[in-house]
Amino acid sequence: MLEGLKIVEFATYVAGPSAAAVMSDWGADVIKIESGRGDPTRRTFAGLPHLEGNPVFEFENHGKRGVVLDIAKPAGREALLRILGDADVFLTNVRPAALRRAKLDFESLNALLPQLIYVSVTGYGLRGEGADLPAFDQAAYWSRGGVAGSLTPKGHEPPLCRPAMGDAACALATVSATLSAVIERLRTGRGRLVETSLIRAGVYSIGWDMAIQLKWDRLGSQRTRKEVFNPIQNYFLTKDQRWVGIFPRDGRDDFSHILKAIGMEHLAADERFASERARAKNVAAMVEALDEGFAKLTLDDIGPRLTKADLVWGPLNYPRDTAVDPLDEAAGCFVDITDADGVSYRQPASPARFPGADDGPKRPAPKLGQHTREVLTAAGYVDAEIDQLIADGAAK
């Protein structure tokens, strides 16, 4: 779908590289520019020598060509500009102040390459006091963006962010924003600045909560299982220690279907549970009664019954469960890849597929500097010039 789109990625860690990896799956030619030390994600498992390979770096960087340049050196910066000469997109998550010092900010590049789409991925946006603050998704998306607060019941400790969870949300925003700018350029012939941030992705991720907060200046806190407003919209533990989530729909008598599924129809006659209002007043008792029913059944027992009743439900999967869940498999959640060392294994797939099209990884993640010569040659350098760049430490 994106064949012919050239993206130059000058980014590290996750949100920026992940967005570029998705677009490479969809056919874009992505050139990853790194320093001599390489993207820090290359060293994620450096302290665990007993583990082979690096599935995290592979996930964020498959499909790309790798180039090493030292842009602090004039020759290295010039090489980057020559690579950008026929590029469509420059994607970076380097802090704005550092980009300005290197004259790689939007204004500088736009003056030289007005057709170039400049994509900036930051923690806190390009304006205000946070513009140059260092940020990971744990800080900007999860903490300051309000996600952790929305998930923390009153009086409880906050949950910790899973690795790169907020980065993934920001990456998807970056993909859609980048492609919107590509469409705009078809009409105008000019590039533009595209801005995404971890904090904005976080606020959008809890859009319902934030919409309520902004409109009414109040929001009910996250509640525990025995404090929820609707006791049947909950998780229940099965005999084989699997949590099952039940999510009722408006306008259906899901309560009676749940009771039938767990063989506890007699609870419908209990005055404490006879109506939604009564159940809302007796949440803890209702949850305890349903717990008793679910505890007598395994996931394999209860799952088909819930499905037959057309209930919205799902098992609480850990990654080990998701990896073998047939619904995940059918949805195309995984893809087979072979890394640069020739080792084959499975990876999470990009979040959309295009039936009939080649929409998966096109090549493994590059070794550090693997394609420097190839890319510089395409940018117009001859062998002697490339040799000199390498000898001077401007390339590797």
What was the pLDDT predicted at 352?
95
Give the Cα separation of 26 and 322 in Å (integer): 24
DSSP 8-class letter at 395: B
What was the pLDDT predicted at 222?
93
Where would I find the beta strands (DSSP E) of the chain? 6-10, 29-34, 64-68, 89-92, 117-122, 193-197, 234-237, 243-246, 313-315, 334-338, 344-348
Spell out the long-range contacts of 375-378 with Cβ–Cβ below 8 A and sequence spacing 24 or more: 375/31, 375/65, 375/67, 375/83, 376/67, 376/79, 376/82, 376/83
Q: Do 25 and 47 meet the contact criterion of CB atoms below 8 Å apart?
A: no
Structure token digits, residue 106: 């939007």
What was the pLDDT predicted at 91?
98
**Residue spans in the chain of domains classed CATH 3.30.1540.10:** 234-322
What was the pLDDT predicted at 155?
93
User: What class is the 6-207+332-391 domain?
Assistant: alpha beta
Residue-level pLDDT, tens digit, the chain, 396 residues: 999 999 999 999 999 999 999 999 999 999 999 999 999 999 999 889 888 899 999 999 999 999 999 999 999 999 999 999 999 999 999 999 999 999 999 999 999 999 999 999 999 999 999 999 999 999 999 999 999 999 999 999 999 999 999 999 999 999 999 999 999 999 999 999 999 999 999 999 999 999 999 999 998 889 999 999 999 999 999 999 999 999 999 888 999 999 999 999 999 999 999 999 999 999 999 999 999 999 999 999 999 999 999 999 999 999 999 999 999 999 999 999 999 999 999 999 999 999 999 999 999 999 999 999 999 999 999 999 999 999 999 999
User: What class is the 234-322 domain?
Assistant: alpha beta
What was the pLDDT predicted at 46?
87
What was the pLDDT predicted at 252?
87
What was the pLDDT predicted at 47?
87
Give the Cα separation of 296 and 202 in Å (integer): 39
Give the Cα separation of 3 and 306 in Å (integer): 44
